[in-house]
Amino acid sequence: MFLKEKDDFLFVGLIIATFIAGSIITIQSKKYNESLYKINPNYYFPSLFEMITGTSILTLILFILKLSFEKIFYYFNDSILLDKYKNNPNKAEKNKYKRKLAIYGLKFFHYLILTIHSYFIYDKFDFFPKELFGHGDMNNLYSKGIHSFCFFERPMYFDLHYLANLAYTFADLFCVVFVYDKQTDILVMIFHHFCTIILIVFSYYNHFDSIGALILFLHNFSDIFVYLGRAFLYAKLPIILKKLITVSLLITFIYCRLYVYGRLIIGFFAYFNWESFHIKDAFKITLVCMYILHCTWTYRLIRIVYDSVTKASFEDSRKFVKDKKEIKEKKI
């Protein structure tokens, strides 16, 4: 149904590679955790039961809150909805765009609040780098080998915050697959959520959550601009403001998702040198797959920003599946 473009086949390949990596991590997790326990038996080692129980409860709570607030945003966004959507005589089509504005608007506030909250937690880390507005250095992730990477001092609420990120990803994935109107990038979104879930689950369980925290932060921070930009596509706002936020989105995305994330991957490749029973190699695959996805999105963003700045054209690259079929039928 969705395998119609070259990008679709790329994403299927990335999904397969990530699934293989996740399988390796699953098989080897027990041995790796046993080796960590021998090194530092007094450290906190989360159990699978705690993870599953905590995440399940948080997912249900966040799913209900997510749909409830989206419904509130939906009922009160008529006043800012663009006229071409607001005056659409087709009520069903109008409602689709109202829902889009509500979803993007809520996600903007979600990632804004999450980023502010995580900043005050992460700023206590000596590895929270200046590149992410912290006061530490990325190199401190590996300065004492396994001890600084796996056995760092966990501040209050860190574990709750980490599992809340996982729970929100589950809740949003469920919405993408079963609740929201299907869009042309559904494979990309499924892969992104799948990859994120693997990274959060296994980084938390296998004590890769130091680097995982930084990856979560840079994603959440850049998502503030991603969803603000997407919400602006459907809102009545001055053209100059839309151009500014679009350019800011591209700059932030390249900085966080390519530069900072790229540095984290290079450091992981270069300095992680202790026995991990192939878990390190599996994480490398997942991290690189995510980076490839970031590169494809950056290419698309550059094209979108160019059209926005030079032609004042503000169109969402994410079309509804029905709309995509209609476009192809017209071309034929």
Residue where the block lists tokens 């504005």 = 101
Task: Report the alpha-carbon distance of residue 167 to residue 173 in Å, rounded.
Answer: 10
Confidence band for 1, pLDDT divided at 50, 70 and 90: very low
Please report, for residues 8, 88, 179, 246, 267, the alpha-carbon distance to residue 284 in angstroms, rounded to integers and kept in the order given: 22, 48, 32, 31, 11
pLDDT at 324: 47
Please report, for residues 131, 173, 272, the alpha-carbon distance to residue 97 in angstroms, rounded to integers and kept in the order given: 36, 20, 46
Task: Specify the amino acid at residue 4.
Answer: K
pLDDT at 321: 66
pLDDT (average), residues 206-210: 93
pLDDT at 316: 64
pLDDT tens digits, one per residue of 9-55 = 787 888 889 889 989 999 999 999 999 999 999 998 888 888 999 99
Pick from 314, 288, 155, 169: nearest CA to 231: 314
Q: Collapsing DSSP states into helix, strand and coil, what is residue 235?
A: strand
CA 94 to chain centre: 28
Q: Is the pLDDT of residue 4 over 60?
A: no
Task: Report the alpha-carbon distance of residue 155 to residue 161 in Å, rounded.
Answer: 11
Please report, for residues 68, 142, 173, 181, 194, the alpha-carbon distance to residue 176 in angstroms, rounded to integers and kept in the order given: 16, 37, 5, 8, 12
Q: Is the pLDDT of residue 111 over 90?
A: yes
pLDDT (average), residues 184-200: 84
Task: Report the alpha-carbon distance of residue 90 to residue 193 in Å, rounded.
Answer: 32
Can you give the residue ranges of every domain in the chain? Answer: 6-331
pLDDT tens digits, one per residue of 154-181 = 888 899 999 999 999 999 999 999 988 8
Phi-psi region of 278 (alpha: psi -120 to 50; beta: other; left: phi over 0): left
Tokens of 186: 């559904």
Task: Specify the amino acid at residue 7.
Answer: D
pLDDT tens digits, one per residue of 55-101 = 999 999 999 999 999 999 999 888 898 888 888 888 888 888 899 99
Task: Report the alpha-carbon distance of residue 128 to residue 133 in Å, rounded.
Answer: 8
Pick from 320, 327, 317, 324: nearest CA to 94: 320
Lowest pLDDT segment from 88-92, 285-289, 296-300 = 88-92
Average pLDDT over all residues of the chain: 88
Confidence band for 148, pLDDT divided at 50, 70 and 90: very high
Q: Is the pLDDT of residue 145 over 50?
A: yes
Q: At what angle do helices 48-75 and 91-122 cross, to 10 degrees?
A: 130
Is 228 or 311 the better-scoring residue by pLDDT?
228
Q: Is the pLDDT of residue 117 over 50?
A: yes
Task: Report the alpha-carbon distance of residue 258 to residue 41 in Å, rounded.
Answer: 37
Residue where the block lists tokens 């005589």 = 89
CA torsion, points 318, 321, 327, 331, in degrees to nearest 10?
120
What is the DSSP secondary structure assignment for residue 274, as one 8-state letter? S
Contact (CB, 8 A) for 226 and 249: yes
pLDDT at 317: 61
Contact (CB, 8 A) for 44 and 154: yes
Rg (CA), the chain: 21
pLDDT tens digits, one per residue of 219-244 = 999 999 999 998 988 888 888 888 89
Q: Give the whole-number percent of the chain exceeding pLDDT 90.
A: 58
pLDDT (average), residues 302-328: 67
What is the DSSP secondary structure assignment for residue 45, as one 8-state letter? -
pLDDT at 13: 85
pLDDT tens digits, one per residue of 270-282 = 999 998 999 999 9
Residue 254: beta bridge partners?
none
Contact (CB, 8 A) for 198 and 22: yes
Pick from 221, 198, 224, 205: nearest CA to 287: 198
Q: How many residues does this entry show for the chain?
A: 332
